[in-house]
Structure 1
Amino acid sequence: MTSLTMRSPALSELGEHTLRKVRRRIMPLIVLLYFVSYLDRNNVGFAKLTMSADIGLNAAAYGLGAGIFFLGYALLEVPSNAGMYRFGARKWLARILITWGLLAAAMALVNGETSYNILRFLLGAAEAGFFPAILFYLTLWFPAVQRVTVLGIFILAQPLSNALGAPVSGLLLQMEGLMGLHGWQWLYILEGIPAVLLGLLTPILMTDRPRDAKWLEDDEREWLASTMDAELALKSESGHHNFLAGLKDKRTLAYSALYFGLVCGIYGLGLWMPTIVAALGKFSTTEIGFIVFIPYAIAAVFVYWWSKRADKTGKRAWHTAASMILAGTGLLAAGFLLPVNPFLAMVGLIASAMGIYGAIAPFLSMPSAALTGAAAASGLALINSLGNLGGFVAPYAVGLLKDATGNNQSGLVFLSLCLAATGIATYLYARKRPEGDATLAQAAEPSDPS
């Protein structure tokens, strides 16, 4: 396959050095912020192991509340990204971090289904705009041809957060009765505090745009600013780069629908993984935490390798589709093997985690490459907003299926079908588009919204 270096001019020594410095400066903070974000939205899966009995939640009620997070998230996603575009990433991300950290800790106050649903909705509303704000932020600092690898590093925070957060959450549940609080209350409190602290530090550590980067040398800053300005100008020639244009772009709606299917798999698996693992045998919450660590740790290694491969070949649509089909196959295998062989069921869960998380970076790089400027801010926000409604549908559907059938298999089959169908649809839609296959980029109009 043709490599990116053959399709576009090679970076100069100055360019290589500058982008290496930018990666080292920006990416550790970005990954840390996303790590904490994912921890706070998914720790409810571990809290459920003991919280459900304490406050009287059945599987469907848990799934509904877990998914309600995404209703608040979706409603405020686009307005929040408009605020980020106006006020800058530093200030807006700080606002998001502090409010979601406080509400994440406030989950310790839930005492029934109503308060559980309200706080999950408010938590989603508080976190709205974070993910597309980061995606847009990366489009300001990294050329499109390098963005899959950068997104892969960013997405690593998802499986790493689940991998490292799982044993930590399992251990925090052991704090039952300390100072009169349940273990799940300590889990919410102690995992909410880091977001508040990072919100206070973000305005100090983050730089809004390349021309503001005093930590770059003058020639480095000028090279990066000029490179990104030139890329923006090239994609904006037709005028499809204002905020409203991103909302009306046909590609935005197409990628929103496809992202919905992918998100069904992401959160359907993530929010139910501790429950599924618990069904494999008789384990303590600490043991469940360490078992859940396994598929996510393996997925993290796969994500990094798969993202670099997608960048090298430019076949973003193919890598996305192959990952989703792998995920769907793994979930289907886990569903049927769950009552038969726990070890093979775990192999299926590992394959599903690899596929789900491996698909995210090449998928998100496609709308990130297709849209630019203010259109990218609005378009990526709408894609994330509509797509994340899958985070509402999937956990609730899995909970309803579990209550109706009395087992986890039906939910896993549902998620498997969602991922397989989305993988095929993504390939058919994007395989002949320049953002889906970078080898076509030179022959395509970057701003064509059709």
Structure 2
Amino acid sequence: MTAMNPANHLDELGQRTLRKVRGRLMPLIVLLYFVAYLDRNNVGFAKLTMSEDIGLSAAAYGLGAGMFFIGYALLEIPSNAGMYRFGARKWIARILISWGIFATAMALVNGETTFYVIRFLLGAAEAGFFPAILFYLTLWFPAPQRVLVLGIFILAQPVSNALGAPVSGLLLQMEGIAGLHGWQWLYIIEGVPAILLGLLTPVLMTDRPSHAHWLAADEREWLTRTMDEELAHKQKGQPHHFLAGLKDSRTVAYSALYFGLVCGIYGLGLWMPTIVAALGKFNTTEVGFIVAIPYTIAAVFVYFWGRRSDRTGNRVLHASISMVMAAVGLVAAGSLVQVNAILALIALTLAAMGIYSAIAPFLAMPSTALVGAAAAAGLAMVNSLGNLGGFVAPYIVGLLNDATGDNRSGLMFLSACLAVTAVATYLYARKRPEGHVKPGTHAAVGEEAVAADEFDDTKH
């Protein structure tokens, strides 16, 4: 194979091509994840009035909120196998339609059992979406530019919370319209867009660069060649069939580390409205606008941090620093929640900044380490096992809240999870090739592949 010239990696043609690809793909991808995150997290707002209407304790809410991730984890790997078999475009559309149906069906909840069952089915329906998008991005963007696009993708999380919080708060005010509770209207109005987007996705998405007729011929040829050469470099000496991704020790390690990060993501996200409501006497609309503040600031920081991670290539340090920042913010929030509402909100903002800015540099590491079908399987396993943290953390926070009568112990628990994960991530990945990528050069990809052979302790 002809050696690649790093100097030509991002020449005018490369820059123009990637700019056009970002402009075409990323708005749709961000919109899809925006809706996904809105539908999985709107239960945090619905709880403000739903719990009393159907008789949910804090522990029961935490268990039901977390049941989403049991269904998600069980079907994640089979779903990603379907994506690899049928293509991202068709499979993502199928996921969108099915999760939209169950997101809307949350309006039918009438007690603990139905709450648990429909949350489980919603998770099962959405299974495979996140790793499918991660894998899809590996087909379109070279590794040195991937943290930036992952950062743009991850922006949908805090942006969804920032925009969705006031909307959800306002929807709760629809109490009694057409005989429905406000929280039922919330589920219906926020669930339907997923179904509509599922019908549009097959038209708007393109499976691979070689199919991108919206690119000029030279742009399509450049991108197809660039991604094929990157794949060839990464495949040297590495197993890349589907089962190899499940057996790879790196998959297991990143799954365990992602579990700790996810504990922080959903432990905070699913309880944030409740924590904010405890800071003062606010109605649901006011809670919505206050909750939007930490997420809005976090969204700006995520973009800045993703660009900095790409510029330096030091993914492991950026991910670890972010988790430490989040841990400090949660400790401060736990200490201040009953002392000073404004300072507690500043601490929650710091926590949100840290949690969401950690995701892109962290996920760039397993998506770089694995390749081909092994990447599809490995990323599904990382997301599947990691997202069990979304079951464990809300449930434990709910138990702690019931036992102590306040939010402090739950925040301390989440802080400990993130602190331990930050240290473990740094110790594991600081000397691994995927933890450090030379920015802006195609050579970095080739060097990653060679280094991966040297570091990989799972030879098949």
| TM bucket normalised to smaller | over 0.9
Query: SS state of the match for residue 142, structure 1?
Result: coil
Match of 2:451 in 1: 445
Aligned pairs for 1:70-81 within 5 A: 70-81=69-80
1:146-173 deviations in whole A, cap 9, x for unaligned? Answer: 0000000000000000000000000000
Secondary structure (helix, strand or coil) at the match of 2:452 reads: coil
The equivalences for 1:352-391 within 5 A come to 352-391=351-390
- Quick one: distance in 2 between partners of 1:125 and 1:449? 33
What residue in structure 2 maps to residue 270 of structure 1? 269
Distance 2:236 2:340 in 1: 58
Mapping of residues 33-52 of structure 1, within 5 Å: 33-52=32-51
Task: Please say which of residues 67-76 and 435-444 is displaced more in the overlay.
Answer: 435-444
Match of 1:314 in 2: 313
2:441 is matched with none
Cα distance in structure 1, aligned partners of 2:119 and 2:369: 33
Find the aligned partners of 1:131 and 1:195 in 2 and give their Cα distance.
Answer: 14
Which residue of the partner structure matches residue 182 of structure 1? 181
Tell me which amino acid in the other structure corresponds to 2:197: L
Residue 425 of structure 1 corresponds to which residue in structure 2? 424
Shift of 1:418: 0.3
Q: For residue 46 of structure 1, give the secondary structure of its aligned residue in structure 2.
A: helix
What percent identity do the matched residue pairs reach?
75
Structure 1 residue 145 corresponds to structure 2 residue 144 = yes
1:351 matched to 2:350? The reply is yes
- Could you list the per-position Cα deviations for residues 261-308 of structure 1 after superposition, in whole angstroms to 9, with x for gaps in the alignment? 000000000000000000000000000000000000000000000000
Q: CA offset at residue 239 of structure 1?
A: 4.1
Question: Matched residues in 2 for 1:445 and 1:7: separation?
Answer: 18
The 2-side partners of 1:229 and 1:428 are apart by 32
How far does the alpha carbon of each residue in 1:216-256 deviate from its partner, in whole angstroms, 9 at most, with x for none? 11111111011101111111112411101111111000000
Query: What per-residue deviation string (whole Å, max 9, x for no partner) do you get for residues 344-403 of structure 1?
Result: 111110000000000000000001111111111000000000000000000000000000
Please give the alpha-carbon distance, in whole angstroms, between the structure 1 residues aligned to 2:83 and 2:430.
32
One-letter identity of the residue aligned with 1:390? G
Residue 446 of structure 1 and its aligned partner are, at CA, apart by: 3.4
State the AA in 2 paired with 1:84: M
| Structure-to-structure mapping, 1:406-425, within 5 angstroms | 406-425=405-424
1:194 aligns with 193
Secondary structure (helix, strand or coil) at the match of 2:243 reads: helix
- Alpha-carbon distance in structure 2 between the residues aligned to 1:147 and 1:239: 21
| Cα displacement string for residues 310-331 of structure 1 (whole angstroms, at most 9, x for unaligned residues) | 0000110000000000000000
- Answering whether residue 117 of structure 2 is matched by residue 118 of structure 1, we say yes
Q: What displacement does 1:413 show?
A: 0.1
Matched, 1:22 2:21: yes
Look up the SS of the partner of 1:438 in the other structure.
Answer: coil
Task: Report SS of the residue matched to 1:432.
Answer: coil
- Separation (CA, whole Å) in 1 of partners of 2:236 and 2:310: 25
The aligned residue for residue 261 of structure 1 is 260
State the one-letter code of the partner of 1:216. Answer: L
Tell me which amino acid in the other structure corresponds to 2:232: A
CA distance in structure 1 between the partners assigned to 2:374 and 2:456 by the alignment: 11
Q: Which amino acid aligns with 2:210?
A: R
RMSD: 1.2
- Distance in 2, matches of 1:308 and 1:10, equals 18
Structure 1 segments (4+ residues) deviating >6 Å: none
* Residue 242 of structure 1: aligned partner: 241
Q: 1:8 to 1:372 in 2, by over 3 A?
A: farther
The reply on whether 1:90 has 2:85 as its aligned counterpart is no
Q: Distance in 2 between matches of 1:81 and 1:438?
A: 27
Q: Report the counterpart of residue 3 of structure 1 in structure 2.
A: none
CA distance in 1, matches of 2:377, 2:11: 32
**Per-residue CA distance 1:21-65 (angstroms, 9 max, x = gap):** 000000000000000000000000000000000000000000000
Report the CA distance shift for 1:7/1:58 in structure 2 as closer, same or farther (over 3 A): farther
- How far apart are residue 7 of structure 1 and its match? 7.8
Per the alignment, residue 216 of structure 2 pairs with: 217
Q: Distance in 2 between matches of 1:121 and 1:177?
A: 27
Partner secondary structure for residue 20 of structure 1: helix
Q: Which residue in the other structure is 1:326 paired with?
A: 325
In structure 2, runs of 5+ residues without a counterpart are 439-443
Aligned-partner Cα distance in 2 for 1:17–1:345:
45
Q: Please list the CA deviations of residues 64-86 of structure 1 after superposition, one character each: whole Å capped at 9, or x if unmatched.
A: 00001000000000000000000
Other-structure match for 1:157: 156
Q: Which amino acid aligns with 2:452?
A: P
1:273 and 1:431 map into 2 onto residues whose CA distance is: 32
Q: Output the CA distance in 2 between the equivalents of 1:8 and 1:71.
A: 47
Q: C-alpha deviations, 1:163-211, integer Å up to 9, x for none?
A: 0000000000000000000000000000000000000000000000001
- State how far apart, in whole Å, the 1-side matches of 2:145 and 2:92 are: 24
1:11, distance to aligned residue in structure 2 (A) = 1.1
Q: d(CA) in 2 for partners of 1:341 and 1:142?
A: 45
User: Take 2:319 and 2:6, find their aligned partners in 1: how far apart are those partners?
Assistant: 21
* Superposed displacement of residue 8, structure 1: 6.8
Residue 226 and residue 343 in structure 1: after superposition, are their counterparts in 2 closer, same or farther (change >3 A)?
Answer: same
Distance 1:446 1:407 in 2: 47
How many residue pairs are counted as aligned between the two chains?
445
The CA distance in 1 between the partners of 2:6 and 2:266, in whole Å, is 36
CA distance in 1, matches of 2:368, 2:6: 15
2:53 counterpart residue number: 54
3-state SS, counterpart of residue 27 of structure 1: helix
CA distance in 1, matches of 2:211, 2:113: 46
Partner amino acid, structure 2, of 1:220: E
3-state SS of paired residue (1:445): helix
